[in-house]
Each structure stands twice: as structure tokens, then as C-alpha cells.
Structure 1
């Protein structure tokens, strides 16, 4: 958050959004942190990967859950790129999603 200290408007807006999205909701706090880890890996953000991994562990994420999360992220990354490279069209039953 120190990196945004020079821009109080952006800092306030970002912090308020984080509190809203990461605060109480339908998803458990640990799950929210694990999703944040996955997105941070996909966007290659080391700071976010480390901070949200620490947060998820503090919220009860086990080493087994972390390893499974990494396996899912790796598999999704691989299959996303493969399908994109091959130009695979979206199946009709998935169009409504």
C-alpha cells in the first residue's frame, strides 16, 4: 500500500474495493485468498502471490491445498493456451455461461 501512498485518491478507491470484495460474503475467506493466488500467478505478480499465500495460510490453507491449487493453475494455464492456439470453438452447451 506504500506504493499507492503518493496517490491518495487511487489508494482510497483501491483499499475500499479490496475491503468490499475480500470482506464477508458467500465464499469463505480462505477460498477468496486462494482465488487471489491463482489470478496473481496468472498475471505474474510475485508480491501478490506471496502476500495472498501468506493470507491464505493464515486463514487455514494447508500445504496439500496449496499444492492442489498450483496443479489446477498449471493445468488451466496449459489447456487455456492449447485451446487458444488450436482455435477450438466454444461448444454450444457452454455458450450460455
Structure 2
């Protein structure tokens, strides 16, 4: 259980409210989720993290669904249950199906297994891959 308390909008500083307002407007949601409320305890971290996430997750060479799928994969590997839940919801909003989710988790599991085998066996990189 966290020892910290979330920063709610009503008690937030103007600096935090500005970031919360941008999150709500950008995402079209009535409130920010717990991640933002907890990191708002340190307003510079809140602003920096939101700015970076907003830029990185925007449509670009990779579409938003692909970015959400990557985020899920990394979050599963890093064992961040919060991020898995949050970005699974985001991926579903972006069009992820149950079949896609199943395949994603199969790839994540296989990559983790083969990565560990390659590390354990200290397999050198093939010259063709350089």
C-alpha cells in the first residue's frame, strides 16, 4: 500500500491543475487517472512526464495502437501491473481485439524466454545481424 496520497484537483496547485487540465483535454476524460494524481506530489515530475508521454504517444510513424501495444509489452516485461492495465485500456480504445491481445502476450512471453536463453548461453550476435 502506498504511503503517499493522491493529489486531487480541488486541492491541487495552479501548476498541477494546468497539467491535469491538459491531460483531461488531450484524452477527452472527465478526470485524470491515479498515476497522474500520485506523481503530482512532485509538480516538475508531473509536468515533465506528461509532456514526454504526450509527445511520444502522439500519432507519428507508428500509429497510436502500435505504440500502446509496445507499451503493454514493455510493461508486462517490467512487471508493472498498473501500466499493463492502463495501456491495455488505451489499446482497446485504439482498436485492440482479444485476439490481438493474446498474440501480443504470446510474443512477449516468447521474447522473454528466448532473450533469457540467449543471455544465459552468451550467444554471440551473428555477423549478418550487424
- Do the structures match in fold with TM over 0.5? yes
The structure that is helix-richer by fraction is 1
Which of residues 68, 80, 87 in structure 2 aligns to 1:33?
A: 68
Stretches of structure 2 that go unaligned for 5 or more consecutive residues are: 1-35
Indicate the structure (1 or 2) with the bigger Cα radius of gyration. 2
Deviations, residues 13-53 of structure 1 (Å, cap 9, x unaligned):
00000000001211111111000000001111000000000
Mapped pair 1:47 → 2:82 = yes
Counterparts of 1:81 and 1:72, CA distance in 2: 14
- Quote the RMSD (CA, aligned, Å): 0.6
Which of residues 57, 70, 86 in structure 1 aligns to 2:105?
A: 70
Which consecutive aligned stretches of 4+ in structure 1 deviate over 3 angstroms post-superposition? none
Which structure has more RCO (C-alpha within 8 Å, separation ≥ 6)?
1
TM-score using structure 1 length: 0.95
Deviations, residues 45-76 of structure 1 (Å, cap 9, x unaligned):
00000000011001110111000000000000
The 5 A counterparts of 1:1-97 are 1-95=36-130
Counterparts of 1:7 and 1:71, CA distance in 2: 37
Stretches of structure 1 that go unaligned for 5 or more consecutive residues are: none
- How many residues align? The count is 95
1:82 CA drift (Å): 0.5
SS of equivalent to 2:73: helix
TM-score using structure 2 length: 0.72
